[in-house]
């Protein structure tokens, strides 16, 4: 029986430390099992700049080819470019070799099937794990072929199709690629835009010599923030390692939450077509549904998690979906997320509004947020019941954990998928109320 660490099979991908948890043998078996599960004619494979990605690519593709499927090698790319390739060219599936924002010793596989629909724990990854453990693989009539295909120019054209390029003003923009895949794509995108690009850490380097490519952590934005002030730039943007997530800072170097970007992108897209449905996850600010409704759209709240939002977008025929975590999804991008589409849509909105980023944010964001606070809890169901009872006068929702809404504040408390943790998010109309309610809830959760 093959030895594969079960801990590498996560809720949304396969990921672990190289080479102790995840190695060439793992990659080979994942390749074979994926073909066994999907029964595809072909699989597109892309990879990021991590030091172990070339070795994992060789083993993964060997597994796919031996199992009888063709490999479409799209080379070094971003995760959203891999999804685009699968959707645009009708491939039967795709694998992105990446560990996204994780530290340098990690690597992994993000996998999708036809139409760029992601595989998650309960929609394919568990089955792939079972096939590997069983060791039962079919013998194909013949091996597959390796075909190289460069899709970058097609992807850049696709990104720009979301905006009127002529409208975008020549802003001065600082971009921090974090030595990740944005360093390859952003220069090609800016060849078509009339802005002044100030690049930071564009050299592809899987050792991440400058800072971790995880812009959701405020400490990883400090280089970008300093550069924005120093250059008197209009906007700063930071990408994660596989360039499928983006975070922005305004001209004063203040970070914009993913939920506020969701609201602003929604505003931009709704200018082009009213009555559209837009999805946002449950821990986004109240500003998000308000902006969607004020601009003639229909707001639909979802649970947290990117594998959950994509099928719902299809179900609702939603034009756009946003998460607080910096993932932004587009119907016309095969319902997949794209950080680069978000960047150009945001630039188009800023060009039309003729305002600084901070002014635009101030117009829509009148709330104060705690950010996500984690607490270790032994008996999670009991604690959730206890807190629901104490706040029973509010409007209660069980869409994802426990959400309780009051007129001037609300909170969401939900369990982690992987650890004995409760995650708390609080939003209030004033700083004082936010502080009071956050402390009150933390005392209850941790007692």
Catalytic residues: 100
Say if residue 401 is preceded by a cis peptide, omega within 30 of 0: no
- Are 200 and 174 a contacting pair, CB within 8 Å? yes
- Are 5 and 106 a contacting pair, CB within 8 Å? no
What whole-number distance in Å separates Cα of residue 234 and Cα of residue 357?
Answer: 8
Give alpha helix (H) positions in 126-277.
126-134, 152-160, 182-190, 222-231, 258-270
- Are 440 and 393 a contacting pair, CB within 8 Å? no
3-state secondary structure of 372: coil
What whole-number distance in Å separates Cα of residue 341 and Cα of residue 172?
Answer: 18
- Are 347 and 354 a contacting pair, CB within 8 Å? no
| C-beta neighbour count of 383 within 10 angstroms | 20
What whole-number distance in Å separates Cα of residue 81 and Cα of residue 212?
Answer: 22
What whole-number distance in Å separates Cα of residue 136 and Cα of residue 285?
Answer: 48
Residue from 70, 95, 69 nearest 82 by CA: 95
Q: What are the φ/ψ torsions at residue 432 (nearest 5 degrees)? A: -65, -45
Any idea what DSSP says for residue 125?
I
């Amino acid at each position: 029986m093959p030895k594969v660490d079960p801990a590498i099979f996560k809720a949304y991908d396969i990921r672990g430390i190289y080479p102790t948890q995840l190695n060439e043998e793992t990659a080979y078996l994942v390749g074979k099992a994926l073909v066994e599960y999907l029964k595809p004619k072909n699989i597109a494979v892309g990879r990021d700049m991590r030091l172990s990605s070339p070795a994992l690519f060789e083993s993964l593709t060997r597994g796919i080819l031996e199992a009888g499927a063709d490999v479409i090698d799209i080379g070094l790319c971003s995760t959203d470019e891999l999804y685009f390739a699968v959707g645009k060219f009708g491939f039967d599936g795709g694998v992105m070799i990446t560990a996204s924002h994780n530290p340098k010793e990690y690597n992994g596989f993000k996998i999708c099937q036809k139409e760029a629909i992601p595989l998650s724990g309960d929609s394919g990854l568990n089955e792939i794990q079972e096939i590997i453990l069983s060791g039962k693989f079919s013998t194909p009539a013949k091996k597959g072929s390796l075909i190289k295909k460069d899709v970058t120019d097609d992807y850049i054209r696709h990104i720009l199709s979301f905006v009127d390029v002529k409208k975008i003003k020549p802003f001065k923009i600082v971009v921090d690629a974090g030595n990740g895949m944005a360093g390859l794509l952003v220069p090609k995108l800016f060849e078509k835009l009339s802005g002044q690009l100030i690049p930071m850490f564009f050299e592809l380097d899987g050792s991440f010599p400058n800072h971790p490519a995880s812009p959701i952590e405020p400490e990883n934005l400090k280089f970008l923030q300093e550069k924005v002030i120093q250059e008197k730039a209009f906007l700063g943007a930071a990408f994660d390692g596989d360039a499928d997530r983006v975070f922005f800072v305004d001209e004063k170097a203040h970070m914009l939450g993913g939920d506020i970007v969701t609201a602003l992108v929604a505003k931009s897209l709704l200018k082009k077509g009213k009555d559209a449905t837009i999805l946002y996850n449950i821990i986004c600010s109240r500003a998000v549904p308000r902006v969607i409704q004020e601009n003639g759209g229909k707001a639909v709240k979802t649970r947290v998690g990117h594998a959950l939002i994509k099928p719902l977008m299809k179900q609702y025929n939603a034009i756009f979906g946003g998460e607080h975590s910096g993932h932004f999804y587009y119907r016309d991008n095969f319902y997949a997320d794209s950080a680069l589409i978000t960047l150009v849509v945001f630039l188009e909105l800023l060009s039309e509004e003729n305002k600084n980023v901070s002014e635009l944010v101030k117009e829509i964001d009148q709330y104060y947020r705690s950010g996500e606070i984690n607490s270790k809890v032994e008996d999670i169901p009991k604690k959730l019941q206890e807190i629901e009872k104490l706040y029973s006068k509010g409007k209660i929702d069980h869409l994802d954990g426990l959400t309780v809404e009051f007129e001037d504040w609300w909170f969401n408390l939900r369990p982690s998928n992987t650890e004995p943790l409760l995650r708390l998010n609080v939003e209030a109309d004033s700083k004082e109320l936010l502080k009071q309610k956050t402390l009150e809830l933390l005392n209850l959760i941790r007692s």
